[in-house]
Chains A and B, each alone.
Chain A
Amino acid sequence: MIVDSYRFLPRSFRPFYEGRGPFPGEESPVWAPFEKRLSASRIALLTSAGVYMKESQPTFDLEREDANPEWGDPTWRVIPATARPEDFAFAHLHINPEDMLADPEIALPMRGLAELIDEAVVGGSVADHVAVMGYQDRGLEDWRRKTAPEIVAHLREQGADALILAPA
């Protein structure tokens, strides 16, 4: 089956995504080989669903986005692998969070990953996964300049061998 990339997208949005080619300056391939066995690797997860820990972290700034619709909060949060589903909140104005609240695994499969670790399919998990809010300004300047380098530093510090990213 070849996935229809626009099946759930309102038709009028399609031109914003389709046929636009590579991001400026990002034309050439990038590649980091996956060199270890999966069973000896430490895996990190990243979701763009705007997840945050509702007791201990600030929400993503939706008020500013409301005032300036072309802007999206470029900050990021660490999500402890030990967090429980009831610890999460979702800040994302472009999707209905109901299903994610009912079962956060559909955005951030931390328990699924823990099972694979128990079964020794995967070596381990980072202690702290990563969350961003996926709606960003078109130029991605803050992500490029600040967020991406910070996430890279975090992943290195956590000893991550690889990352699974899930756009919301």
Chain B
Amino acid sequence: MKLVFHGGGYDRDNRELNLKAIELSGEKKPVIAYIPAQSYDSEVDFRDFVKEHQKYGLRQFLYFPIDYPFDNTLKRELLKADIIHLSGGNTFHFLKYLKEHKVFNDLKNFAKKGGILTGLSAGAIVMTPRISAATYPDFDCDENEVGLLNFTGMGLVKFEFFPHYSNSRRYDDELKKQSLKLKYPLYAAPDGAGVIVEEDKIKFVGKVACFFQGKKMFMN
């Protein structure tokens, strides 16, 4: 599988990770689909996304909101893309509609068959086994505005991912505490940083921290 996890930030902050995703596709000008975490206000985000990716020479884009009804013609085009990017936003909202509109399993299969799946913040969290990382810390978590009860994510990797990480005591205390509940590592990436998974290899871009069994270490 080829996956890219973005810690957050604007598209321009993620240049290295974006270029890596393009490289992973093996295409010079891959087709890239953009799935916003929520359609509300997402047309403007899509515009920014396109503008940034045009700088890398990309020319074929698909905007595919999943929280309102869509046509199967478009869904087929989505799954034909080389790269599918899952945007940031409210993680609970995103997961609810990915499942409700039956895109969730399609994306898992897309990734398993070699498609490049990239996610930023909420989009990255939904690729992990559970979306618990959206629930903490209290001072910086998503509101479960849709009343989601099942937090099971795509489970494409055996780690959890915490975006918008800030190297500070109050974040560290919370993340160490949370890591004690997990059997696998919890990677925390600040804006612009991230994790690249290519089959069984894992690479880190920027200052990514790993929290495991109550301890913290930096990965590079």
Q: Do A and B come together as binding partners?
A: no
- B residues contacting A by CB (< 8 A) are none
- A residues contacting B by CB (< 8 A) are none
